[in-house]
Amino acid sequence: MASVRIHGYPISTWTRTARMTCVEKEIAYELVPVAYRTEAHGELHPFRRMPIVEANGLVLIESLAITGYLDEAFPGPSLQPDDIDGRARMRTWMGICADYLFRDVVRGLPRGENPTDEQSQAARTALERAESVGVGGPFLVGEALTLADLWLAPQIANCQEKAPEIVEGLERIGAWWSMMQGRESVAETAS
């Protein structure tokens, strides 16, 4: 039996982040479809968002709380840097993903149709600005995978699906994404 239940859909960026966190931590999980925006959904999450995670008798909402909890409550490799500077850089990337890339890339690019020039430019600008923050090593924050990588990966995958040309020429993010595609957590959560 799975020790974690993730309520959401595979297509959801944040659901994928929670799933990737479980894979990296080797946490058995069950993906439970949510009846999106229904009263039942509202009983689990007052803002009717996803994912919602049940673990150790807790019901957790919001990816910041979910990924931090999964990392800290379960054994396995730590997904947060040991040093305060590294944790600050990790949280910076997490904020960039939540505040800018999700809005301009994930939400800003339509699924199943060509984006407008304005949508493409907003997504490209957001990604260029993110790239200017810098990649700290093979991973976003340095030599080891962190939660920041698990926050960005689904967003880049989403962009690659909808408008791959927008990522072209972003050397640091491109190299990082090429490396990330070899990870089990990326492959296992691709659908």
**Domain segments of the chain as ranges:** 4-73, 84-188
- Give the chain's residues under pLDDT 50: none
The amino acid present at 65, given as its one-letter code, is A
Report the distance separating Cα 60 and Cα 155, nearest Å.
Answer: 22
Contact 67, 118 (CB under 8 A): no
Summary mean pLDDT of the chain: 96
DSSP, res 99: I
* Confidence at residue 191, expressed as pLDDT on a 0 to 100 scale: 85
Residues facing 80 on adjacent strands: none
* Confidence at residue 138, expressed as pLDDT on a 0 to 100 scale: 93
Report the distance separating Cα 174 and Cα 13, nearest Å.
Answer: 19
Report the distance separating Cα 163 and Cα 96, nearest Å.
Answer: 20
* Confidence at residue 67, expressed as pLDDT on a 0 to 100 scale: 98
Which residues contact residue 65 at a Cβ distance below 8 angstroms, ignoring those fewer than 6 apart?
A: none
Report the distance separating Cα 6 and Cα 45, nearest Å.
Answer: 12
Q: What are phi and psi of 113, to 5 degrees?
A: -150, 160
Output the six-digit token pair for 139.
Answer: 């991973």
* Confidence at residue 174, expressed as pLDDT on a 0 to 100 scale: 95
Report the distance separating Cα 151 and Cα 149, nearest Å.
Answer: 5
Which residues contact residue 121 at a Cβ distance below 8 angstroms, ignoring those fewer than 6 apart?
A: none
Q: Residue 131: how many CA atoms within 13 Å on its side-chain side?
A: 19
How is domain 84-188 classified at the CATH fold level?
Answer: Glutathione S-transferase Yfyf (Class Pi); Chain A, domain 2 (1.20.1050)
* Confidence at residue 135, expressed as pLDDT on a 0 to 100 scale: 81
How is domain 4-73 classified at the CATH fold level?
Answer: Glutaredoxin (3.40.30)
* Confidence at residue 1, expressed as pLDDT on a 0 to 100 scale: 59
